[in-house]
């Protein structure tokens, strides 16, 4: 239980006890004492339900994380299978969110100049 809830219920219990002690002198307090006692009982019951729901929420969160991990694993396996079946360069891979392996672009020269054009590269390799 939270400290503020405990402090609040302790305050109400103290108030009810003081009212019970004073009831012989002030009989008009009787119905209010009964109402306060009923509300204290209801508060304890509702707090218990809240704690039970909190525990179930934690369990549900753990279940959700387990399922998310399993779904991610299944997606990875599916994409890997598609890549293996279609090949790494097939344009249909894009449908599955898989990056298509493309030819590497020519690198920039180290001197900072412009990279050679594909025609220049083809003539140098002959």
Q: Which DSSP string corresponds to 70-99?
A: HHHHHHHHHHHHHHHHH-TT-GGGGGGTPP
Q: Which DSSP string corresponds to 96-120?
A: GTPPPP-PPPPPPPTTS-PPPPHHH
Segment 72-98 mean pLDDT: 95
In tens, the pLDDT along 114-126 reads 666 777 666 665 5
CB atoms within 10 A of CB 16: 19
pTM recorded for the entire structure: 0.55
Q: Calculate ∠ Cα 55-42-16, nearest 5°.
A: 130
Longest dimension (CA), the chain: 115
């Amino acid at each position: 239980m939270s400290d503020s809830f405990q402090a609040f219920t302790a305050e109400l219990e103290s108030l009810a006890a003081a009212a019970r002690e004073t009831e012989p002198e002030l009989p008009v307090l009787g119905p209010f004492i009964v109402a306060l006692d009923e509300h204290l009982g209801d508060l304890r019951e509702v707090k218990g339900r809240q704690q039970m729901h909190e525990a179930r929420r934690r369990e549900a969160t753990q279940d959700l994380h387990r399922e998310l991990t399993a779904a991610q694993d299944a997606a990875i396996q599916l994409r890997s299978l598609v890549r293996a079946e279609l090949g790494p360069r097939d344009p249909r891979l894009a449908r599955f969110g898989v990056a298509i392996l493309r030819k590497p672009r020519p690198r920039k020269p180290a001197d900072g100049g412009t990279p050679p054009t594909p025609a220049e590269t083809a003539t140098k390799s002959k």
